[in-house]
Structure 1
Amino acid sequence: MIKTILFDVDGVILSEERYFDASALTVWEMIHSDAYLGLAGDDFDPAPQEPVIRCVRDTVFDQDKVLDLIKSRGINSNWDMVFLAYSYQIIRLCERLLPAKGAEVKELLRNQLDRDGLALLRDWARHEAADFVIDYAAFTGDFAKGNAQKAEMLTYLNEIAKERIGVDTQMFSRTSDLWELCQETFQEWYLGDARVTSSIGRESFQKGKKGFLADEIPLVDPAKLRELLLQLKEKGITLGIGTGRPTIETHVPLAELHLLDVFDPNRVISASHVLDAETSYPEYAPLAKPHPFCYLKGLAGLDSDDKSVLLQNLPIENPREVLIVGDSLADLLAARAIGCQFAATLTGLSGQAARSTMEKEKADYILNDVSEIMQIFN
């Protein structure tokens, strides 16, 4: 008997589209803006119109082929997606700079790459690699050569750097200065100037971004979903959330859609809580999905000690009492680690095309969208 249901948000309750748009815009800015690499090719505008956003996303993610590959390997974090796509182009640029700046490039990549390092690359590129051509589509070919999964994809960049540049480095990881810079720049895009300070502790580095938080797209009618969630609560089921969104990006849109209050506030777990745990216990990082931490924390509650959650024996006792509802392979892998049931919704990036994957992975339930969840209890 199911006693607790934990829902992912993106691809289940809210569309992922704006997250992917913000991810593409982040990579675009960090490549073309003079505040970062400043490479020629596209003029940078912090407030692009919708046709420009569509064009940027189609280009940066190669008609979503790059996104499909990343998600198929178990990566569920938009911050990681930005880091992967951006770092790969940095490696390609450094390869182009080898004839003129070989020793300097290798030394740069042996250390942390921050704003000062990007400024160096910008200056070198303008003087020594003006003919450098960005190739976003090449990402899928290079990563297809290996079998890196989940967090290993980030460190696989070090192998690509070794192969292309001949440098031994460990700078490409989720604990790097560059990853943090990608994460903060993404937050600028998604939250906009008015809200970003509360998320990253500073104003937008480049102002003019409106943000997407007020432009969320629900995947099912919010009033219908609220009614279904209330029916589940009437059955005595505890409802929680385990999402890769930070807290503000979870609370604001769900509250505006009149859904947040339906969930147990002690069981609404976000990427902010995951980052807090990683900061306190770096030896356990990374803890983002497909690591089960956010769902285990949802079961234990926000008032639980992170260390006790990390030391939770798996699979949990009475796993059939827990249902996780998600759209991605990362959610499924987290549920599998916990030992609980998993319901896949076909409203993520791949849509109905994800059905074959979920069938192959033996998801307990496959729903066209979250509104079909009551079928599980009939």
Structure 2
Amino acid sequence: MKTLIVFDLDGVITSEDAYWDAAGLTLHELLYSPRYWNVTGQRGYEPVTGAEESRLLSRSTLPEEEILLYKALALNSNWDTCYAAVCWRLIALLEQVLPAHRALLLPLRPWEADWLARLRSVLATQRAALEPRLGTLLSGTPPFAGAPFSGIVGLELLNRYDAYASARLGLRIEGVFSRLSPFWDFCRSLFQEWYLGEELYSRTYGHPPAQAGKPGCIHFERPLLPPEALRETLDALRAAGYVLGLATGRCSQEATLPLQAYDLLSRFDPEHVCTYDAVEAAETELRRAGDTTLLSKPHPFQFLYALDRRGPSAAELARPRPPFIVVGDSSGDILGGRAAGALTVATLSGARSQEARQRLLACAPDFVIDDVCRLPSLLAEVERLESIQRLQFEDRAKAERLLRWWFARQLDLLPEQVTLTPRPVSLNSFNGTYEQNGERYFFKTHVEEQSALSEYYHAELLRDAGYNMVLPLRVVRQEGRQMVIYPLVQWPVMFDLMRAVETGAPCPVTAEILVAAERRACQRLLEIYRRTGRLSSAEEHATAPIHQLFWHRLTGGRLTRFYRGQSIPLPSSANARTGQSEIGFEDLLRCRWVVNGEQQQRTLGELLEEAQERLHPRQAALTVIGHGDAHFGNIFLEHERDYLYFDPAFAGRHAVLLDIVKPLYHNVFASWMYFPQETAQGLTVRVALHHGAGGEWIEVMHSYQLAPIRQAILITKVQTLLRPLLSWLKEEGALPADWDRLLALALLCCPLLTINLLDHGRIPPAVCWLGLTQAVLLGNAGLLPWRTLLESEAEDAS
């Protein structure tokens, strides 16, 4: 399925400077030509002819800051920006006419030669009084901050000019300054004379311009960016499978000429191009039906026409549409793109003032880049599912739009609706449902940066081994793009049931049912281990996906990205004692720890070094077929008794002791990780940093305790799975002599490397220290009461 990118032209690919020149020169000719307003009483009017002269005269008449204001207010077409500048100045002039003389100008017809002659005559009678004020009068500020414009954007601003003129002049004015007024066509024609020049204008419209000698600003156009950079960018996008289209306020001729000159035109698919010609034709069709809707941006018509040539009627515009991307530099582009249902990318290259940028960003584009040449790298990053995983908690609607686009691009799916279900358990994943052809489906992905895996999701392997599995309908196994599609499952998720019992919230099952289900699952799991267990060579074991959860996180960049070079804030109690507000992570690695009065044998730095060696994948081991990540977020409770597993992102053949680690930790000890803010409310953590002859040491006192349901699950898991498992491994001669160190070091990785404890926007300082403390405790000897519960088995195994 093709993925379409629709570009605005001016401010994105082409420069608007030549158009802005034409706008300023149009205003200048209206002001000073004897043919039009002639505010200074000139006898003749000579057009400027050179590029530099044109630019200077234009900007002195119509400042760039004013044009940028119009763009920021979603007046996207340069004809409209020119018209906006002309209208308020003419109204300001008329306001200076003495009330007794205003009757001579009624009805207002500023597009007719006779009326213009009357205006010149009236202004001539007041020239002496008017001339000293002209500079201030004509270089003032557009009136859009007050009534009747306040809060309005887009073409409706132009339609408010009649009401504004009525209030300022004390007259009832209708149809003079609106967007559908003949005055707009009059100003556009004059604009075209300046932009095209005498020769091209005559050829295009079949008659010469009213004023001879205009050179044509189109000939002064320069590219916004180096043409070779633009060609490289567009070629990269096409090579990545994108189809390129255009939606521009330029007419076809004016869009084609510069694109041909820069050798860019052939990169755009003519089936996905919308110029102003299409807007005019569609508006004409609407007018015949009595509809006065304006279809220029920010109306979505241009983008939808570029998408699939749909017509302007409400029924046509409302038809289902595939996801696509709009790239623009103005509020009109972003507002219109969003109304069309597109993902929007704002380029700052056309927003050349601080106010213009602020207004552009206020439209909340989905993404922002400096210029269009950054688009290929942005889209390459967005296609990686980490972007959606992060967004699900910050901006769910945006994440859902992005995911719908991802489904279309990566899976050739066009779901009518995508619904994400952000969950506390989704620390490195996301899931949700989508609807297609009346059917609903469940999806889940696991996001793992710098993946060292060749394959994910061995669901069939688990099913064949005896696991009760939800089998996927479809699997994507590309690095950074792992996605699984399932039939919709209605059973409750164990994570939610456990949390409800833990907090006392309403729950459809009792704690006893959950513990009984855990007991059955442990018994069944032990049977599967016994049935599938065999020795694996170091080479075979090194390829197991489960190592991504432990050793690869230690060595593959996550540890460095989360913590290296960072500082951990110290609580205020520690500050008062030492005057130190934080401790560097590298310094923390060297500290000894005392936790709730118990001294820990190893520092965190020593534990990490030991873990990198002991958890190395290339080690022979007794291996089993295991899920690898069977925490309660990946388990449904079927019929209130049996575990139904899904999301086997790390399933495969691997060491049995590693297989039990993630469910042991996350199902029992990790509530703080999923609910950090709630945990912080009832948590007391005191940290003291001490300096002594033997170096620094940290003393931590905390009040964190396991909920009764977590303790019950722990006891059940130890009695029903861990003790029998250790006995079986000993019988097989496969119990490592340092099995307790292997478990402790793997458990260490869970609190330290599942999430970034220094993510201050998410993790309160007290919870950060709780996580660090758990990592040290686990790495040294394990958390009580786990060690006590295993004590007798450890003695038997030694």
User: TM-score if structure 1 supplies the norm length?
Assistant: 0.89
CA distance in 1, matches of 2:172, 2:333: 33
Moved more, 281-290 or 92-101: 92-101
Contact 1:233 1:239 in 2 (8 A): yes
Contact 2:71 2:356 in 1 (8 A): no
Give the fraction of aligned pairs with identical amino acids, expressed as a percent.
Answer: 34
Pick aligned residue for 1:207 from 212, 218, 224:
212
Output the amino acid matched with 1:57: S
Shift of 1:293: 1.1
Output the amino acid matched with 1:291: H
Tell whether 2:235 aligns with 1:236.
Answer: no
Output the amino acid matched with 2:266: D
Output the amino acid matched with 1:184: S
Closer/same/farther in 2, CA of residues 219 and 352 from structure 1, 3 Å limit: farther
- RMSD over aligned Cα atoms: 2.4
Pick aligned residue for 1:335 from 334, 337, 348:
337
Contact 1:187 1:199 in 2 (8 A): no
Shift of 1:168: 0.8
Question: 1:290-338 CA deviation, whole Å, 9 max, x = no partner?
Answer: 111111110113xx5x345873117x533xx300010001100001101
Shift of 1:219: 1.8
Contact 2:51 2:217 in 1 (8 A): no
CA distance in 1, matches of 2:14, 2:365: 21
Q: Which residue of 2 aligns with 1:296?
A: 304
Pick aligned residue for 1:167 from 168, 171, 182:
171
Shift of 1:358: 4.3
Tell whether 2:193 aligns with 1:188.
Answer: yes
| Structure number with higher helix proportion | 1
Q: Could you say what secondary structure the match of 2:160 adopts? A: helix
Alignment of 1:126-275 (within 5 A): 126-132=124-130, 133-134=133-134, 135-140=137-142, 142-146=143-147, 147=150, 148-170=152-174, 171-275=176-280
Closer/same/farther in 2, CA of residues 101 and 164 from structure 1, 3 Å limit: same
Q: Which residue of 1 aligns with 2:107?
A: 108
Shift of 1:41: 7.5
Contact 1:155 1:173 in 2 (8 A): yes
Closer/same/farther in 2, CA of residues 89 and 45 from structure 1, 3 Å limit: same
Q: Could you say what secondary structure the match of 1:339 adopts? A: coil
Closer/same/farther in 2, CA of residues 100 and 311 from structure 1, 3 Å limit: same
Contact 2:6 2:246 in 1 (8 A): yes
CA distance in 1, matches of 2:239, 2:162: 51
Closer/same/farther in 2, CA of residues 82 and 360 from structure 1, 3 Å limit: closer
CA distance in 2, matches of 1:212, 1:166: 39
Output the amino acid matched with 1:169: I
Closer/same/farther in 2, CA of residues 354 and 90 from structure 1, 3 Å limit: closer
Question: 1:157-205 CA deviation, whole Å, 9 max, x = no partner?
Answer: 2122112211111111122121111000101111111111354443211
CA distance in 1, matches of 2:163, 2:317: 33
Pick aligned residue for 1:317 from 303, 316, 321:
321
Contact 1:96 1:129 in 2 (8 A): no
Moved more, 84-93 or 351-360: 351-360
Q: Determine which structure has more spread, i.e. the larger CA radius of gyration.
A: 2
Closer/same/farther in 2, CA of residues 102 and 221 from structure 1, 3 Å limit: closer
Q: Which residue of 2 aligns with 1:75?
A: 75
CA distance in 2, matches of 1:217, 1:375: 26
| Number of residue pairs aligned between Structure 1 and Structure 2 | 368
CA distance in 2, matches of 1:201, 1:185: 15
Q: Could you say what secondary structure the match of 2:244 adopts? A: strand
Shift of 1:357: 4.1
CA distance in 2, matches of 1:360, 1:175: 29
Shift of 1:277: 1.4
Q: Could you say what secondary structure the match of 2:6 adopts? A: strand
Q: Which residue of 2 aligns with 1:47?
A: 48
Shift of 1:129: 4.0
Q: Which residue of 1 aligns with 2:379?
A: 377
Contact 1:31 1:37 in 2 (8 A): yes
CA distance in 2, matches of 1:222, 1:180: 34
Q: Which residue of 1 aligns with 2:116?
A: 118
Q: Which residue of 1 aligns with 2:37?
A: 37
| Structure number with higher strand proportion | 2
CA distance in 2, matches of 1:358, 1:159: 27
Q: Could you say what secondary structure the match of 2:31 adopts? A: helix
Closer/same/farther in 2, CA of residues 235 and 51 from structure 1, 3 Å limit: closer
Q: Could you say what secondary structure the match of 1:169 adopts? A: coil
Shift of 1:214: 2.4
CA distance in 2, matches of 1:310, 1:240: 23
Output the amino acid matched with 2:83: F
Question: 1:84-107 CA deviation, whole Å, 9 max, x = no partner?
Answer: 2212222222222234413223x2
CA distance in 1, matches of 2:58, 2:129: 23
Shift of 1:59: 3.0
Structure 1 gap segments, 5+ residues each:
none
Shift of 1:58: 3.3
Shift of 1:246: 1.2
CA distance in 1, matches of 2:342, 2:234: 20
Contact 2:2 2:243 in 1 (8 A): no
Question: 1:323-355 CA deviation, whole Å, 9 max, x = no partner?
Answer: 001000110000110121011111114267655
Question: 1:35-60 CA deviation, whole Å, 9 max, x = no partner?
Answer: 11122178743124455434433332
Runs of 4+ in 1 over 6 A off after TM superposition: none
CA distance in 1, matches of 2:177, 2:355: 32
CA distance in 2, matches of 1:25, 1:116: 23
Structure 2 gap segments, 5+ residues each:
381-798
Q: Which residue of 1 aligns with 2:469?
A: none
Closer/same/farther in 2, CA of residues 313 and 175 from structure 1, 3 Å limit: same
Q: Which residue of 1 aligns with 2:730?
A: none
Contact 1:155 1:172 in 2 (8 A): yes
CA distance in 2, matches of 1:358, 1:96: 35
Contact 1:2 1:322 in 2 (8 A): no
